[in-house]
């Protein structure tokens, strides 16, 4: 697959990806809201001839340890026709690389441990945290030694709180 990754605010592409993957606009609207609120750190779109996948990273804060720089990975989607060909992996790995380069210490994600485990996310680190999404699907990845010290209450970007 000839893939191109682009940091982009292409809203038509976002809507097309989330409509095809989830059959709804909630996630595309969430990304828009995160951007408007100034909470979006990275929005990466994967293109072949058409947009095939997207991942976003947004700001979150650790109330007890504000010196730890944290972010949330969400949402992530690949259109059905593009799934199982490494697009999701490419998006996540590139996103994590950029977050590490930007000095982020910790990434949180909510999803299938079987999928996110391959990138090093664990539920063990997530259990030290108190979030809106506590449970078996919340996972964390430390990008630095400091990230491993993460604990306590997490405040997600406002757009997530409004989804609940």
Ligand X SMILES: CC(C)(COP(=O)(O)OP(=O)(O)OC[C@H]1O[C@@H](n2cnc3c(N)ncnc32)[C@H](O)[C@@H]1OP(=O)(O)O)[C@@H](O)C(=O)NCCC(=O)NCCS
114 binds ligand X (CB under 6 A): yes
Q: Radius of gyration over alpha carbons of the chain, in Å?
A: 15
From the list 68, 53, 159, the residue with the least C-alpha distance to 108 is 68
Q: Which CB, 68 or 77, lies closer to ligand X?
A: 77
From the list 125, 140, 153, 138, the residue with the least C-alpha distance to 65 is 153
- Rounded least distance, CB 135 to ligand X, Å: 14
Q: Which CB, 41 or 87, lies closer to ligand X?
A: 87
By CB under 6 A, name the one of 51, 70, 88, 95 that touches ligand X.
Answer: 88
Instruction: Could you list the beta-strand ranges (E) of the chain.
Output: 4-7, 40-47, 51-62, 70-78, 106-110, 129-130, 138-142, 152-156
The pair of three-digit structure tokens given for residue 115, joined into one six-digit string = 């999928």
Question: Which range of residues in 7-15, 108-116, 126-134, 155-163 is near ligand X by CB under 6 A?
Answer: 108-116
Site for ligand X in 13-32 (CB under 6 A): 21
Residues that bind ligand X (CB under 6 A): 21, 76-78, 83-89, 111-112, 114-115
């Amino acid at each position: 697959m000839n893939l191109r990754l682009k940091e982009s605010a292409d809203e038509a592409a976002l809507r097309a990806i989330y409509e095809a993957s989830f059959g709804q606009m909630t996630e595309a609207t969430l990304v828009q809201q995160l951007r408007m609120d100034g909470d979006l750190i990275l929005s990466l779109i994967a293109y072949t001839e058409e947009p095939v996948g997207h991942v976003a990273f947004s700001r979150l804060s650790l109330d007890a340890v504000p010196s730890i720089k944290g972010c949330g990975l969400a949402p992530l989607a690949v259109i059905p026709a593009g799934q199982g060909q490494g697009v999701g992996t490419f998006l996540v790995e590139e996103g994590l690389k950029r977050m590490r380069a930007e000095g982020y210490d910790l990434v949180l994600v909510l999803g299938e441990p079987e999928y996110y485990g391959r990138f090093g996310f664990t539920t063990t680190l997530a259990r030290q945290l108190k979030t809106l999404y506590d449970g078996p699907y919340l996972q964390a990845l430390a990008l630095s030694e400091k990230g491993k010290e993460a604990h306590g209450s997490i405040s997600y970007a406002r757009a997530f709180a409004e989804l609940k």
